[in-house]
């Protein structure tokens, strides 16, 4: 079991990674929670898996939402907040999010706003949530106009990561998380990239020792980056490597055709091509990234999924765009991404054209 510290303006917290830690959660959380009633938020999958048992151990209710992005709305924030008020929460209460990114995001918005803020504990159950969304305090819900448009920075008081929970994940969900894991390797940690390449068989068959080491490494990277730049004023943007085209592709295809990780995988291919075209990324890096994505069965192209014009229009509306210009995260080398690059529009169009036309 390891504890990773995260600095935050709200006071800092630990990410505890440990196999089997899910069985100890009630004792750990209630030791810090005091006498105020706790509330568990889960979804219809993670409630029966863990949330209800944990709620029982805490003497709490388990509020369950339908699984999937369609629950990440203000309407579900209101329902969850009403249920928590009905359960008697006060300002000392703890909200425990048991689930993937959707549950964690929704719970973050509820915890940030209910009674002007209550304590939040994350128990991420998907690979993506364990290595990314549960760490760093970003919380948001969607509007009809777009994803993650209403939210806040809400640091948890603790994050508990149990890699054993990954064993039962559906394959596509696991792969989706692996795309973010690969992103850490490509953008921030060449050693992790090499480990993912050399230990692919163990990672793919979810060997717990290998998986735990990989999850620990990714949590440590994320903790380091968000501790240095919690509110994404600079360096934190490197975590968005591959996300500009990835998000646009998800939006252009109605969030149904590609998992988040598949879209990010294609987005990484586009970002890498842009880096090569502007002379920043060594050409060999593109080949290395493509080989790794391909070996894990992740796409580096999305043939005919959308038109280049659609994707470019959505890229221009990216949350990070300023005055119509999007700052790009590009690779200077394998394991070293840097944010804030200006790229001529024709270079972006060429890369998007390529990922939408290439057989991948
Ligand atoms: N998922 C990107 C970030 O937390 O900043």
Contact 135 CB / ligand 1 (< 6 Å): no
Is 240 marked active-site?
A: yes
Is 247 marked active-site?
A: yes
Is 183 marked active-site?
A: no
For every residue of 139-186, DSSP letters joined together read EEEEETTEEEEEEEE---SEEEE-GGGGTTS-HHHHHHHHHHHHHHHH
Q: Is the pLDDT of residue 324 over 60?
A: yes
Q: List pLDDT tens digits, range 78-87.
A: 999 999 999 9
CA torsion 180→97→148→239, rounded to 10°? Answer: -30
Contact 43 CB / ligand 1 (< 6 Å): no
Residue nearest to atom 3 of ligand 1 (CA): 239
pLDDT band at 136 (very low <50, low <70, confident <90, very high): very high
Q: Is the pLDDT of residue 208 over 80?
A: yes
Contact 260 CB / ligand 1 (< 6 Å): no
Contact 99 CB / ligand 1 (< 6 Å): no
CA of 98 to the centre of ligand 1 (A): 19
Contact 138 CB / ligand 1 (< 6 Å): yes
- Calpha distance 199→335 (Å, rounded): 18
- Calpha distance 226→90 (Å, rounded): 29
Pairing mode, if any, of strands 158-161 and 146-153?
A: unpaired
Ligand 1 atom closest to Cα of residue 135: 4
Mean pLDDT, residues 275-285: 97
Is 180 marked active-site?
A: yes
Contact 243 CB / ligand 1 (< 6 Å): no
Mean pLDDT, residues 297-305: 94
Distance (Å) of CA 197 to CA 122, 191, 243, 244: 30, 10, 22, 25
pTM recorded for the entire structure: 0.96
pLDDT score at 354: 94
3-state secondary structure 1-60: CEEEEECCCCCCEEEEECCCHHHHHHHHHHHHHCCCCCEEEEECCHHHHHHHHHHHHHCC
Testing ligand 1's pocket by substitution, the residue of 128, 133, 154, 320 carrying the most ligand atoms inside 8 A of its CB is 133
pLDDT score at 241: 98
CA of 165 to the centre of ligand 1 (A): 22
Ligand 1 atom closest to Cα of residue 239: 2
Q: Is the pLDDT of residue 227 over 70?
A: yes
Residue nearest to atom 2 of ligand 1 (CA): 239
Q: Largest Cα–Cα distance in the chain?
A: 60
Of these residues, 72, 119, 122, 236, which one is catalytic?
A: 236
pLDDT score at 360: 44
Residue 340 region by backbone torsions, left for phi larger than 0, else alpha for psi between -120 and 50, else beta: left
Q: Which residues pair with 166 in a beta bridge?
A: none
Contact 132 CB / ligand 1 (< 6 Å): yes
Contact status, residue 39 vs residue 95, Cβ threshold 8 Å: yes
CA of 237 to the centre of ligand 1 (A): 8
Is 195 marked active-site?
A: no
Contact 236 CB / ligand 1 (< 6 Å): yes
Ligand 1 atom closest to Cα of residue 136: 4
Tokens 């998380």 found at: 177
Ligand 1 atom closest to Cα of residue 232: 5
Class of residue 200 by CB neighbours under 10 A (exposed 0-12, middle 13-18, buried 19+): middle
Is 322 marked active-site?
A: no
The average confidence (pLDDT) of the chain is 95
Lowest-confidence region among 50-64, 260-274, 308-322:
308-322
Contact status, residue 259 vs residue 284, Cβ threshold 8 Å: no
State whether residue 325 is helix, strand or coil.
strand
Q: Is the pLDDT of residue 24 over 90?
A: yes
Q: List pLDDT tens digits, range 161-173.
A: 999 999 999 999 9
């Amino acid at each position: 079991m390891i504890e990773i510290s995260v600095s935050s303006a709200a006071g800092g917290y630990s990410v505890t990674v440990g196999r089997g830690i899910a069985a100890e959660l009630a004792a750990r959380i209630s030791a810090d929670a005091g006498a105020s009633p706790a509330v568990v938020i889960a979804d219809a999958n993670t409630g029966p898996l863990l949330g209800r048992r944990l709620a029982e151990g805490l003497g709490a209710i388990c509020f369950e939402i339908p699984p999937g992005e369609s629950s990440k709305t203000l309407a579900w924030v209101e329902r969850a907040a009403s249920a928590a008020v009905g359960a008697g929460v006060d300002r000392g209460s703890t909200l425990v999010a048991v689930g993937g990114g959707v549950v964690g995001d929704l719970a973050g918005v509820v915890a940030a706003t209910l009674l002007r803020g209550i304590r939040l504990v994350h128990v991420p159950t998907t690979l993506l949530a364990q290595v990314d969304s549960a760490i760093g305090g970003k919380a948001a819900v969607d509007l009809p106009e777009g994803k993650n448009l209403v939210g806040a920075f809400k640091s948890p008081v603790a994050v508990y990561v149990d890699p054993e929970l990954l064993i039962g994940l559906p394959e596509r969900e696991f792969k989706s998380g692996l795309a973010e894991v690969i992103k850490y390797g490509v953008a921030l940690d060449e050693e992790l990239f090499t480990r993912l390449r050399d230990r692919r068989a163990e990672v793919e068959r979810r060997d717990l020792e290998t998986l735990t080491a990989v999850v620990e490494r990714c949590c440590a990277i994320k903790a380091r980056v968000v501790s240095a730049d919690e509110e994404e004023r600079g360096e934190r943007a490197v975590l968005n490597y591959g996300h500009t085209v990835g998000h646009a592709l998800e939006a252009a295809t109605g969030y149904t055709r590609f998992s988040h990780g598949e879209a990010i995988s294609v987005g990484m291919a586009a970002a890498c091509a842009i880096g090569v075209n502007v002379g920043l990324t060594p050409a060999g890096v593109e080949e290395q990234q493509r080989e790794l994505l391909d070996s894990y069965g992740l796409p580096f192209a999305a043939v005919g999924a959308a038109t280049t014009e659609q994707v470019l229009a959505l890229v221009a509306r990216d949350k990070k765009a300023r005055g119509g210009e999007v700052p790009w995260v590009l690779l200077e080398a394998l394991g070293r991404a840097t944010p804030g690059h200006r790229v001529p529009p024709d270079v972006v169009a060429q890369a998007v054209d390529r990922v939408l036309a290439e057989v991948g």
